[in-house]
Amino acid sequence: MADMPGFERILIANRGEIALRAIRVCHQLGVQAVAVYSTADAVSPHVWAADRAVCIGAPAAQSSYLAIAPLIHVALETGCDAIYPGYGFLAENADFAQQCAQHGIKFIGPSAETISVMGDKSKARELALAQGVPVVPGSDGAYLDVETALEVAAEVGFPMLLKARSGGGGRGMRVVCEFSEFAGAFAQATREAEAAFADGAVYIERFFPSVRHIEVQVLGDGKGGAVVFDERDCSVQRRHQKLIEESPSPAVGPDLRRRMLDAAAKLTRGICYEGAGTVEFILAVETGEFFFIEMNTRIQVEHPVTEMRSGIDLVRAQFDIAAGRPLPEHDVNRQPGGHAIEFRINAEDYRRDFLPTPGTLSRWRPPRGCGIRLDSAAFEGQHISPFYDSMIAKLIVHGSSRENALHKARDALKRFDCQGIATTIDFHRLLIDDEAFIGNAVHTRWIETEWSGNAAGEPPT
């Protein structure tokens, strides 16, 4: 008998470490887990960890993990009463959530309507304004034709940022510094947005050359109740892709934290959000101003740093909320606190402009120890596929302070023995000894414009 009311069997519509994590939560709750996999993932750990596994299609994501109809079919055929999407793939696909509802399957996440509205950045902006949350100055709508967009651009002013109305991850995004660049950048952004999200519309907002990326983890019960957690700083990025995340942000003081968390709570409660989500802001450090940029309606890759500091299992919370259980109690006076940092271990060669490096892991010896956590589905002898995201692990380090966490991180990264492919481990070893990173002088474009790391050299030993 399942421990979770209403759920007996759950389909895990994902792969890799997040699928493995979700399967473990299912088993903790006494619920059966059904995995799906592509032919490229036939020997992946999430396949053998599940109670049952079904091949969903060919290696290409469009033929497997992004194929809505086969996923619904497998869920129905295996008697699943819920689907867990994790992050990436279909996690923020409103049509998928709607299809689940139409077939009587619980989508573990927000409603299709919430995903659709918050996924439309212009509508999300309107909702944020309605809740009194500050937003980046910019256009009221999104545009497909350059002539109309040019008229709005003249009002917003340069420099500006073009952003895809749908999706994220830096796709469909362009910085425009002057009028003569606008038409070309707009065409590139719309083409990329159409290819990535089947929606070429982009909106325009004022661009701040030097900002921090701050996000707030939230949980909502779908009835207006919400829990918010201390912020995460995700400012170390490359081409809008996060590389390191930490909590709390070294750039956020008590008063600013209170205001940001209050804004995130207002939005979460105001839209009666259900499940785990992230309210994202940019922070102009010089002025202390912060602005809402978007809400991710799913669990984030970097959620473990919040788990390490709060002591709350956020994935389990997603399952509990979907089953109608109350939100977890979050007592800041009883949480572990301290400082947590997550390092994304990607199969990429940072010496060659972060070129993906698929291949075979000939040696895989992650570090262990107090305050060290590894979220991964990698194993020695595994072939890292070129078909999916290059992230193969997340190294999370927790310490009593930022200084203590960085000390542990240096030791952990030094002991991380990974051979067979190039990874970002050496990059992280260099990064955490950089004076700007240690001294809290980074921003979202720092890696691309200012990082002093010797990309051609070797990390310290």
Q: Is 140 in contact with 154 (CB distance < 8 Å)?
A: no
> How large is the C-alpha radius of gyration of the chain?
21
Q: Which residue has the tokens 């994935």?
A: 315
Helix boundaries (H) for 89-145: 94-102, 112-119, 121-130
List Cα–Cα distances, 61 to 14, 30, 391, in angstroms. Answer: 10, 30, 16
Distance CA 105, CA 101 (A): 6
Nearest to 116 by CA among 80, 162, 167, 70: 167
Which has the closest alpha carbon to 35: 26, 302, 305?
26
Active-site pick, 298, 316, 373, 402:
298
What's the rounded Cα separation, in Å, for the pair 325 and 323?
A: 6
Q: Which residues of 326-346 are buried (b: 16+ CB within 10 A; e: fewer)?
A: ebbeeeeeeeebbbbbbbbbb
With beta carbons less than 8 A apart as the criterion, state whether 31 and 46 touch: no
125 catalytic, yes or no?
Answer: no
CA angle, corner 320, sides to 314 and 326, nearest 5?
Answer: 100
Range 190-195 contact pairs with CB under 8 angstroms and sequence separation of 24 or more: 190/144, 192/164, 193/164, 193/165, 193/166, 193/167
Taking the C-alpha atoms of residue 370 and residue 408, their distance in angstroms, rounded to an integer, is 9
Residue 152 DSSP symbol: H
Cα(223)–Cα(110) distance, integer angstroms = 11
Q: Where are the alpha helices (H) located in 167-247, listed in sequence order?
A: 182-197
Burial of 356 (0-12, 13-18, 19+ CB in 10 A): middle
CA torsion, ordered 450, 256, 284, 449, to nearest 10 deg: 10
Give catalytic residue positions: 298
